[in-house]
Amino acid sequence: MEIKVLKDYKELSYTVADIVEYQLQEQPLSRLILPTGSTPLGLYKELVNRELDWSAVMTYNLDVYIMNPDHPQSYQTFMKENLFNKINIYPSNCQFPDRNVQLYEERLKGIPVDLCILGIGTNGHIAFNEPGSSFDSRTRVVHLDEQTIQDNSRFFDSVDDIPTQAITMGLGTIMDSKKIVLMANGEHKLNILNVAMNGEVTEDIPASILQNHDNVKVFYCD
* Interaction site with ligand GLP (CB under 6 A): 35-39, 62-63, 119-121, 127-128, 148, 152
Min dist CB 2 to ligand GLP, Å, is 20
Would you say 120 and 219 are in contact if contact means Cβ atoms under 8 Å apart? no
Min dist CB 40 to ligand GLP, Å, is 7
Between 120 and 171, whose beta carbon lies closer to ligand GLP? 120
Min dist CB 137 to ligand GLP, Å, is 15
Min dist CB 172 to ligand GLP, Å, is 16
Catalytic residue among 46, 61, 114, 125: 125
Distance between CA atoms of 137 and 88, rounded to whole angstroms? 33
125 is a catalytic site residue: yes
Distance between CA atoms of 35 and 218, rounded to whole angstroms? 15
The dihedrals phi and psi of 36, each to the nearest 5 degrees, come to: -120, -160
Catalytic residue among 61, 123, 129, 185: 123
For residue 11, with 0-12 CB atoms within 10 Å meaning exposed, 13-18 middle and 19 or more buried, which class applies? middle
Torsion of CA 107, 109, 112, 115, to 10 degrees: 60
For residue 135, with 0-12 CB atoms within 10 Å meaning exposed, 13-18 middle and 19 or more buried, which class applies? middle
Between 112 and 186, whose beta carbon lies closer to ligand GLP? 186
Between 28 and 211, whose beta carbon lies closer to ligand GLP? 211
Between 28 and 172, whose beta carbon lies closer to ligand GLP? 172
Give catalytic residues, as residue numbers. 63, 123, 125, 130
